[in-house]
Homo-oligomer: A and B are copies of this chain.
Amino acid sequence: MVLTYPHLFLASLECNRLHVVMKPIEGFGVAKVVDSGDPNFRPGDIVSGFTGWEEYSLIINTKDLRKIQQDDIPLSYHLGLLGMPGFTAYAGFYEVCSPKEGDHVFVSAASGAVGQIVGQLAKLRGCYVVGSAGTKEKVELLKNRLGFDDAFNYKEEKNLEGALKRYFPEGIDIYFENVGGSMLDAVLLNMRIHGRIAVCGMVSQHSYHDEEGIHNLFALITKRLRMQGFLQSDYLHLFPQFVEQVGAFYRQGKIVYIEDMSEGLESAPAALAGLFTGKNVGKQVVRVSRD
C-alpha cells in the first residue's frame, strides 16, 4: 500500500471510460509517495502508475508502480515519451514493423502521444516518413518540429487513396495504424509488396465495431502483407532498454516530445473531452500539483 501525492495526472481516456461508473476515475500518473507500507517504496520516492483523478491516492496494488529516477527529463515525460505511449511506439516500431533503412513509413494520428514518437524513431532508423493529422497546426508541427519528411491533413483530402499515392508514389513499406476505417482501406491499396502494418492499441477501444467495414483486405494476399496487432504489455521485458535508448535520444537532442498540459484537476474533464474532438496537440496531460 502506498499513499501518493500526484504531481501530474494523465487523462488516460480509454481506461477512464470503462471505469467511470465503477469507482473513482483512474488514469496513468506520476506522483510522490507520502507514506508507504510497501518496503519497496519510501516517502519521497517518485513513481508512475495508475492513480486516481484526485489529489491524494491510496494505492493498494503496488506491483505495477514503477519508480522513477529524477534527472534532467521532465517528470511529465514519464507519462508520454518514457511512459506507456513511448513504449507502445518503441515496441510497435522495432518489434512489429521490422524496419529497414530506406523504408517508406506512414503514420496516422501522427502528432498524437504515440505517433509523434514512431515518426521520430523511423527517421532515426533512416526511413522516409509521412504522417497524417486532423488540423493545419498539427501538420505544421509534424513537418517543422517533429522532423517528418512530409505530412497532410486528412480532413482536407477527398480521396485518401490518391493523397497517399501523392506522398508515396512507390508505395508504403510500413504503416503504423492508429485510426482504422477508410484510412486503413486507402493504405491497403498503397502498400508495397511484403509491407507491414502494425495495428496499435488505440483503435480497439475507440471503435470497437467498425460500422463501415474494411473492404480491401485482398491486398494482404496480392502484396503479401503482414498485419499485426500488438499491446505494449507483451514486451515489458524491453522496458529498461527502451528507457535507456529513448532517454539517450532525448538527451542527445535527437528526439523531442510535444505535450498539451492543462492546469488543475478541475481542467481534467475538459481535457478528456478534447481528445475526442482532436482539440489537444500532442500528449494530453493534466497537472494536479506543482509540488
Contact = CB atoms under 8 A, between A and B. Distances in A.
Contacts of A209: 215-216, 218
Nearest to A196: B228
A109 B158 CA distance: 38
Interface string A158-190: 000000000000000000000010001000000
Contact of A227 (B200, B218, B228): B228
Interface string A198-229: 01110110011111111111111111111111
A230 interface: yes
A196 B229 CA distance: 11
Contacts of A200: 221
A231 B211 CA distance: 30
**Leading 6 A-B pairs by shortest Cβ distance:** A213-B213, A220-B229, A221-B229, A204-B221, A204-B218, A226-B228
Given A210-B217, A226-B226, 10 more contacts: A204-B218, A204-B221, A210-B214, A210-B216, A210-B218, A212-B213, A213-B215, A220-B229, A224-B228, A224-B230
A234 interface: yes
Number of copies: 2
Contacts of A212: 213
Interface of A: 180, 184, 199-201, 203-204, 207-231, 234
B225 A221 contact: no
Given A199-B217, A214-B213, A229 B234 contact: no
A222 B213 contact: no
A210 B215 CA distance: 5
Given A199-B217, A211-B215, A213-B215, A231 B227 contact: no
Contacts of A199: 217, 220-221
Contacts of A180: 217-218
Task: Identify which of A199, A200, A214 gathers the most chain B CB atoms within 10 Å of its CB.
Answer: A199
A49 to B, nearest CB: 22
Contacts of A227: 220, 226-228
Contacts of A231: 221, 224
A281 B184 CA distance: 37
